[in-house]
Every structure is written in structure tokens, then in C-alpha cells.
Amino acid sequence: MNVRKSSLPEVLIIEPRVFGDSRGYFLETWSQRRYGEHGIPEHFVQDNVSKSRHRVVRGLHLQHPGGQGKLVSVHYGAVYDVAVDVRVGSPTFGRWFGQELTEENHLQLYIPPGFAHGFCVLSDTALFVYKCTAPYAPEHELGIAYDDPDIGIEWPIGDALVSERDRHSPRLAELTEESLPRFSSV
């Protein structure tokens, strides 16, 4: 497998080895030892699946406290996946990184705690799969506007389909520092 840093150094792009022939393919989506060698946490507590249709945008979401690291991939279809650094004091605070994840490219992203996460569906439908380092805690969930002009995410779709909750999420600048995770250089 090949692991490289994105423009947000803590967000990792993982390219698993794919073994294919005329029958199909095989790939390893998680190995505690192998992924751990690249700094990806050894402990995941929850797996999630999201099925969405074309133009759906989900996000931007995070939890604080109880931040979740996420190992994300697409098993069917295509999405544009985005991570935003929202750690107060981080040198990359407010910056975003986006990557197309598809069933063909088999790429994964590791998004550590302290980053908001979202994606939009590029295909007719998509099956989005992710592992989390902490359990879902609705009382600690935060939403940030997917279309926050200060962040400036360049979503590759128009006329997004967004939930009411996500449509009314505040801009990053409207959140208090106390409600956001803090950057630690340790």
C-alpha cells in the first residue's frame, strides 16, 4: 500500500494494493499492523455505511469533545470527499482538502479528530463506508456550513441536495473557540 500526506499533512491518502484478474479483484481495506505503521490509529470502534444519490452533500460534520478519526472509502460509485482543519491554533486552520474517491480508484482517506468532514456524490448513487475511532455522540456533534464562503470549498457539483440540518449549519466564524477542538503540536 502507498500512503501519502495531503495538503493538510495530518490527512492521509491511502492507495491499497489491488490484486485483480479476469474474475475481479481483491484488496485489503484495513490491517491493524500495516495501517498502524503509517500512523493510522490501531483502534476503531464503529463502522458506518451511507448510501446517497447524485448531488447529495453530507457535512460538514465533526464531534467535539469525543472527536472521531475516520478512515473513509467508497465501495460503489464516486464521491468528492472533503476535510477541513477546524483546530483552534492550527497553522492550517480553516483550510480544506478534497479528493475524489471511487470504486475504481479504491483510494481511502484518513481524517484525524479535529477535522470537519463532508462529501458530495458524483455518481447516480454511492455507497460510502467509514471506520471511526470514537463512538457517535449526538450531544457533541457540530455542523459547519458546507458552503461557508470563508472556507471556500470548490464542490464539483451544482444545485446540491442538502438536509435541513446541514442547510442551517453555522459558518466556522460563527462558532466560539470553546466549541472547537484545539491544535496540539505534541
Which residues are known catalytic residues?
61, 130
Peptide bond into 60 cis (omega under 30): yes
74-108 burial string, b = 16+ CB within 10 Å, else e? beebbbbbbbbbbbeebebeeebbbbebbeeebbb
Cβ-based neighbour number of residue 110 at 10 Å: 23
Cβ neighbours of residue 48 closer than 8 Å, sequence gap 6 or more: 129, 130, 131, 132
Cβ neighbours of residue 61 closer than 8 Å, sequence gap 6 or more: 116, 117, 118, 141, 142, 143, 144
Task: Count Cα atoms within 13 angstroms, Cβ side, for 179.
Answer: 15
CA distances, 55 to each of 39, 90, 115, 123, 157 (Å): 33, 31, 23, 8, 6
